Amino acid sequence: MAIDPQFPIVFIRHGETDWNKQGLIQGSIDTDLNAQGHAQAKAVAALLALRAQEWADFQIIVSPQRRARQTAGYVFAALSRSDHEIDHRVRELGFGIWEGKPFWELKDSPIYPADPEGRFFWRPEGGESYEDGVARITEWRAALT
């Protein structure tokens, strides 16, 4: 897939979920947008529709996660489009056994590295390290050119 370099890459994060609101680690768990998340997705879609008028053609690439697809649905409606590609490489980082637990519990755990550099390479059981996530996104980005 080739992308014209004159167009920016615009990332839209999914709207709020109940798990976000509760401080729970979602990772690869499929969660739905809550009412606030739907409102956020609708608002960002309206803003994107205004900017998209400047671009002659562009692709929409979506994470396979339900909250991302729900957010993208508002974008499709605002742009009167439905064409898109689902790409697993842009999904959220997987946190393995920590998914569904409060983030503060992970931060307070002795297995979580205290130093930021150590966190980059730390891989939770059954999950991904930030290094893994960067590699995945780098692979995705390289495929765009």
Which residue do the tokens 């609708």 mark?
42
Question: What does the pLDDT read at residue 52?
Answer: 84
Query: pTM here?
Result: 0.88
Does residue 60 sit within a domain?
A: yes
Q: Which of 16, 38, 88, 92 is catalytic?
A: 92
Tell me whether residue 9 is in a domain.
no
Question: pLDDT grade, residue 144 (50/70/90)?
Answer: confident
Q: Note whether residue 5 is domain-resident.
A: no
In whole angstroms, give the CA distance from residue 119 to residue 130: 7
User: Total domain count for the chain?
Assistant: 1
Supply the DSSP string of 5-19, one letter for each residue.
TTSPP-------BHH
Query: Is 13 part of a structural domain of the chain?
Result: no
Catalytic residue among 14, 16, 99, 128: 14
7 falls within a domain: no
Tens of pLDDT, residues 45-86: 999 999 888 876 788 899 999 999 999 999 999 999 989 999
Residue 3: the pLDDT is 53
Q: How far apart are CA 135 and CA 31, in angstroms?
A: 25
Average pLDDT over residues 105-121: 91
pLDDT in tens, 2-39: 555 566 788 999 999 999 999 999 999 999 999 999 99
Please name which of 120, 119, 118, 128 lies closest in space to residue 97, comparing C-alpha atoms.
Answer: 128
Annotation says 92 is catalytic: yes
In the prediction, which pLDDT does 17 show?
98
Query: Residue 115 has what pLDDT?
Result: 92
- Tell me the CATH number at 69: 3.40.50.1240
* Distance separating alpha carbons of residues 118 and 116, to the nearest angstrom: 5
Q: Has residue 105 been placed in a domain?
A: yes
- Residue 136 forms part of a structural domain: yes
* Residue 3 covered by a domain: no
Q: Pick the closest to residue 7 from 45, 43, 42, 59 (CA basis).
A: 59
What is the residue range of 80's domain? 18-144
* Residue 39 neighbours by CB under 8 Å, 6+ apart: 15
